[in-house]
Amino acid sequence: MQQTLNHWTSFNHCNLPNTISMPNLDTLDGCTVQKIRYRFLSDSGEVIFYKVMGGGHSWPGGDKQHLVLSWGTIGTTNFDINASELIWNFFKNYRLPEPTEVKECMPTPSEFALLQNYPNPFNPTTKISWQSPVNSRQTLKVFDILGNEVATLVDEEMEAGYHSVDFNGSNLSSGVYFYRVQSGSFIDTKKMILLR
């Protein structure tokens, strides 16, 4: 525990600690508590450590019965403080900064690839994914088993990267279909099955 405390007080560049003894509210529990406060040098932050003297390995303010495990008693529970309330009172005073836009940092693919749709077989929707190493005009079309085009899902200039679209076959009958991606001289086709 001291190693963890040393880490956080050093990491946050804290002042020397201020130690106070907490009121001994339950004289029958056989233990007392010290509150040790380390204030940050740079701002109003602080590290607070509650040290239970004479207590066991139990949650302060928890169950009043001694807990017995297969390896023996875990010791006395302190009732001068309630650890759950102290933790809540500490954290409710701090707000996280407003979320900022997070962009995935994915490397640009090194080659074109068309991936197998998922799920497959599907009913009635499936996800079709592909990757492109360059910005280019890209088309993604769906064909029936006779080669008739049944849908154009993409036909536009797209950036290099990883792409996916959802295909909804609710207006089609069960059967085998093909989807084809094309970008410049790259063309790839895969089979998918609509199963109702």
Residue 83: CB atoms within 10 A of its CB come to 15
pLDDT at site 89: 85
pLDDT digits (tens, 9 = 90+) for 8-43: 888 888 888 899 999 999 898 889 999 998 988 877
In a domain, 60, yes or no: yes
Task: Report the alpha-carbon distance of residue 34 to residue 18 in Å, rounded.
Answer: 10
Among 91, 121, 151, the domain-final residue is: 91
In a domain, 36, yes or no: yes
147 three-state secondary structure: coil
Residue 15 CB partners (closer than 8 Å, separation 6+): 38, 39, 40, 41
120/186 same-domain check: yes
121/171 same-domain check: yes
Q: 89 is written with which tokens?
A: 């009172």
In a domain, 96, yes or no: no
74/37 same-domain check: yes
Among 38, 61, 91, the domain-final residue is: 91
Element containing residue 8 per DSSP (H, E): helix 2-11
| Amino acid identity, position 6 | N
57 in Cβ contact with 74 (< 8 Å): yes
pLDDT of 85 higher than 60: yes
181: domain CATH number is 2.60.40.1930
Task: Report the alpha-carbon distance of residue 90 to residue 77 in Å, rounded.
Answer: 22
Residue numbers of the domain that contains 29: 2-91
pLDDT at site 135: 94
156 in Cβ contact with 141 (< 8 Å): no
173/126 same-domain check: yes
64/7 same-domain check: yes
Number of domains, the chain: 2
pLDDT of 143 higher than 80: yes
pTM (whole model) above 0.85: no
86/119 same-domain check: no
In a domain, 137, yes or no: yes
In a domain, 85, yes or no: yes
Task: Report the alpha-carbon distance of residue 81 to residue 61 in Å, rounded.
Answer: 6
pLDDT digits (tens, 9 = 90+) for 158-171: 999 999 999 999 99
